[in-house]
Structure 1
Amino acid sequence: MELMMKKLNITLILAALWLSSCSDLLNTEPEQNISDEAVIVDEKSANTALVGVYDALQGYATSNIIGVDLASDNVVNYNNQNNLVPDLTPNNAGGGFSAIYKMINQANFVIALVPGVQDGFFTQEERNQVLGEAYFLRALGYLDLVKTYGGVQLVLAPATGPDTHKGTKRSTAAETYAQIGADLDQAEQLLKETVNRTRATRFSVYALKARYFTYLQNWEQAEANASKVIAQAGFKLVKPYSAFFTGKTTEESIFELVYSTSDRNSFYTNWLSPADGGRHDYIPAREFVSQLLDPARGGARKSLLKQTAEGSWDLIQYGKPDGSSSVFILRIAEQYLIRAEARANKAAPDFTGALADLNAIRSRSDVPASPLTAASGKEAFNLAILEERRLELPFEGHRFVDVVRTGRSASIFGAVNANRKNQQFNVLPIPLTAIQTDGDLVQNPGY
């Protein structure tokens, strides 16, 4: 993933995002009269700007989920159901590249301007909260970029004009991860240990750090951060399994994007049949459906699916036709699976602890306890955890990354599509629209 590139000119993208973000945050006209200095001037506009960052996250989250899920073996296009693990092209890969940068740019405005706000009613505690959330959201954006496209250009200041970031070069994956870690450290220092399932808190940071350190195979830190979240009484595995997505902000959620009938999530239209108000763009892959329906593997997780009149299976995790389905960025089930993987892989493995975490997930979903024992060994545990992650977190954007980061893309994806044995395809291509917008933007190798 550590790919370098020639000169990268992202100014056209970011200049456009600068203008749109200013307009969104201030809701004033005309657009061209808004300067960066006017975006955040007091406590009220700082919080308005922060809400704009969350709105931008809503704007890209589903695009990233479907981009990486279609690249895996969990999801197919309804009209091309036999094309499992397809070849990726700049025309069809998606992933939300430009939309992620829109969120990052808006977070950059908050990070750059909030420290200088002169407002006697804006306390240091409130200021820290706003800044901490912005650092967390920027870290999340870059983590979604690096897992999807590899090392990317690091833009850490707001785009205030058409040439602000001209000539910015692409960083390596290692440099991108280092920036993510720095942002998460800042967020941890600024945020409080409170439970708020719709806004970033220090527990959100712990949970994202656990994922981050898993990607880096820093197992001690992955376990430590996951354990901090699991130990918090406010987070629990809910039963039945379907409760976390049929309800809203349940104890399952650490960080959840909440929608309503007035702030609708249109993701349901991609997954439901026309009879239920959707377009049937995507469906779960047939082979994977059989696993979810297997009582010994999927158990209660079959509740993610609904069979249609013609016999296919729709995903109903995002299926509320009023547009109020949540998108789950962080939930407690992932933390148990992160800790299981970390315990099995750290220098002094704790297979007993790993098995306990794995069985906590299986028990919640009414699946028999794992046949593994503490003597089964690291490879057996890793395979079991990878399968459990597929079944537990199937449509939340994890499968592609899990297969790639565990070094199994050639054996799993390549078994379906021989072209995917090429490790160059362990990242998605930059979308063609971004390449066309910026003539200096160099595509990932192989595309």
Structure 2
Amino acid sequence: MKKNPILWLALGGVLLAGCKKDFLDLSPQATSSAANFFQTPSQIEQAVNGAYVPLRDLTNLEYWVYGEMRSDNTSFQYNNTDRGQESQREFVDEFLVSANSESVLSYWQGSYRGISRCNDVLGHVDAVAMTADKKNQYIGEAKFLRAWYYYNLVRQYGGVPLRLESVGSPAEAKSPGRATLDAVYTQIVADLTDAAAKLPTKAAYAAADAGRATKGAATALLASVYLTRKDYPNALTQLRAVRSAGYSLLSSYRSVFDPANKNNAESIFEVQYLGSQPAISSYFTYTFAPYTSGNLVTGDAATRNLNGASGWNIPTPELINAYETGDLRKDASLQLGYKDATGTFVAQPYVSKYNFGIVAPGRTDTDFPVLRYADVLLMQAEVLNEQGYAAGGEAFDLLNQVRRRAGLPDKTAAAVSSQAAFRDAVLQERRVELAFENQRWYDLVRTGRAVSVLNAQGVLEKARKTFLPASAYQVTTNNLLLPIPQYELTLDNLEQNPL
């Protein structure tokens, strides 16, 4: 279904699931038409649950391909026995992706699938009798998710069509064309502002609803949007609000990602997976394992030949060397290799941040972090510095809270003695603290460093991978936006990004 947009349009988001036990339990229970489906609070809740599904799908693939592999943090393990993924992932890493790429299209369509489901909720919820608190919660969840989908779209494609109404027929499906960048961001801010006003706090949810969007999540995402737009006063207001909401750093960095510790005190929003159910399990452990490692990295005896399904999001030597001596985050996040069946060490780095064992063959239970408190601390440190460098001030304290948890000494004004130097220190800290969490690409673009950093990275990649074409890693400002999928250009008469 994920690859068939026609089928999804026909279903209209109504093959949704019940939520008696847990809002992740999304097995279809009935087929209805939109005209008679949105009648009860339970049906609205099912529709809200359905709006989370594309988020889970995109996180399993497209988000890390475009949020991490396009950066200088990760690349790929070249597999000369399986070239089937070349256009989908290798070309992304090499900045050779085209408008006809399957992953460019699936990113776009998956995002709009989520937006469509949010619009269905928002278009019908007011007509259903329920308590004001429940109605506010459902509206808040839908607006948070819609803002998230648009936030990723606008950062990857630029101005995109703003679809804000529930679509009831094919005649209503055509968009008014690409909105301006400002218009898309204005809508994102409006959605998040309303979501933050309406959503419950994290503590107010019942245990079965853990992982739903919260007031804190909407506020933290709004802060990220303001930071991206360089609106530092508003970003600071939102960040201070998050910091007063009861979140805290865990003492152990590794435990933040442990599936036995989901939705912990540091977690503001994470994509929920359930390894006991095939359709809603995660599989990052397999994807990020070296394809040559068989089951030695995954620990899955039933999986012996990973081949083209693995060897992706491989840490670059530059990221590995970015960790300071003694940084506890390094061993928690990556491994420099693995031992083969004979006990011989194979020097092939891989991401281990999400490797906590399997639940069943091919399935893991690991969630994916989207917003966490450490990110908030570093965002606030950045904002304060952009508003004015203060030697040894609050920004230093925020930065050093993150460093202390990693086992590192404080940064001092003697070593970081200017606004520019502190800017570099925060970006470096974000790189290693948030490695493999799909943040690095956006940080490089937001800070205006993407073109220079990635061209320099390309020189290093070409020296290591002599098989790469000469046209690889020729990064210009045009590469900072993905091409609009050719399918959507033709279908919706959209204007292409500069190529």
Measured against the shorter chain, the TM-score band is 0.7 to 0.9
Equivalents in 1 of 2:35, 2:143: separation in Å? Answer: 20
Aligned equivalent of 1:282: 312
TM superposition shift of 1:375: 7.2
Cα RMSD after superposing both structures: 2.7
Aligned equivalent of 2:286: 269
Aligned equivalent of 1:258: 272
1:178 matches 2:186: yes
Query: Does structure 2 retain, via aligned residues, the 8 Å contact 1:344–1:382?
Result: yes
TM superposition shift of 1:366: 0.8
Equivalents in 2 of 1:294, 1:360: separation in Å? Answer: 16
Out of 116, 119, 127, the residue aligned to residue 105 of structure 1 is: 116
TM superposition shift of 1:396: 1.3
Out of 215, 221, 228, the residue aligned to residue 208 of structure 1 is: 221
Letter of the structure 1 residue corresponding to residue 434 of structure 2: L
1:144 matches 2:174: no
TM superposition shift of 1:97: 1.5
Query: Does structure 2 retain, via aligned residues, the 8 Å contact 1:301–1:392?
Result: no
Equivalents in 1 of 2:223, 2:424: separation in Å? Answer: 20
Distance 1:417-1:348 versus aligned 2 partners, 3 A rule:
closer
Query: Does structure 2 retain, via aligned residues, the 8 Å contact 1:240–1:300?
Result: no
1:384 matches 2:425: yes
Q: State which drifts further: 349-358 or 145-154.
A: 349-358
Aligned equivalent of 1:57: 55
SS at match of 2:176: coil
Aligned equivalent of 1:229: 242
TM superposition shift of 1:20: 4.8
Instruction: Give the 5 Å matches for 1:64-79.
Output: 64-79=63-78
**Larger relative contact order (Cα-Cα within 8 Å, sequence gap ≥ 6):** 1
Distance 1:194-1:266 versus aligned 2 partners, 3 A rule:
closer
Distance 1:396-1:84 versus aligned 2 partners, 3 A rule:
same
Post-superposition CA distance 1:313-341 (Å, at most 9, x none): 22122224331011111111110010000
Equivalents in 2 of 1:104, 1:224: separation in Å? Answer: 27
1:316 matches 2:352: yes
Post-superposition CA distance 1:50-96 (Å, at most 9, x none): 11111222122232222221111111121179999522312276472
Query: Does structure 2 retain, via aligned residues, the 8 Å contact 1:93–1:431?
Result: no
1:325 matches 2:323: no
Equivalents in 2 of 1:14, 1:178: separation in Å? Answer: 30
Query: Does structure 1 retain, via aligned residues, the 8 Å contact 2:162–2:178?
Result: yes
SS at match of 1:41: coil
Post-superposition CA distance 1:354-404 (Å, at most 9, x none): 111111111111122224449722111111111111111111111111111
Post-superposition CA distance 1:23-55 (Å, at most 9, x none): 23584666xxx4322231111101111111112
Letter of the structure 1 residue corresponding to residue 186 of structure 2: A
Equivalents in 2 of 1:401, 1:303: separation in Å? Answer: 23
Letter of the structure 1 residue corresponding to residue 251 of structure 2: K
Letter of the structure 1 residue corresponding to residue 254 of structure 2: S
Instruction: Give the 5 Å matches for 1:355-374.
Output: 355-373=396-414
TM superposition shift of 1:292: 5.6
Aligned equivalent of 1:422: 476
TM-score by length of 2: 0.79
Equivalents in 1 of 2:367, 2:127: separation in Å? Answer: 35
Equivalents in 2 of 1:28, 1:245: separation in Å? Answer: 32
| Ranges in structure 2 where 5+ consecutive residues have no aligned partner | 19-27, 81-89, 301-305, 340-345, 460-472
TM superposition shift of 1:167: 4.4
Equivalents in 1 of 2:69, 2:325: separation in Å? Answer: 25
Letter of the structure 1 residue corresponding to residue 426 of structure 2: I
TM superposition shift of 1:194: 3.9
Equivalents in 1 of 2:284, 2:496: separation in Å? Answer: 28
Q: How many residues align?
A: 426
| Ranges in structure 1 where 5+ consecutive residues have no aligned partner | 1-11
Aligned equivalent of 2:211: 198
Query: Does structure 2 retain, via aligned residues, the 8 Å contact 1:209–1:222?
Result: yes
Letter of the structure 1 residue corresponding to residue 480 of structure 2: N
Q: State which drifts further: 338-347 or 76-85.
A: 76-85
Equivalents in 2 of 1:169, 1:350: separation in Å? Answer: 48
Aligned equivalent of 1:300: 329
Query: Does structure 2 retain, via aligned residues, the 8 Å contact 1:14–1:102?
Result: no
TM superposition shift of 1:422: 1.4
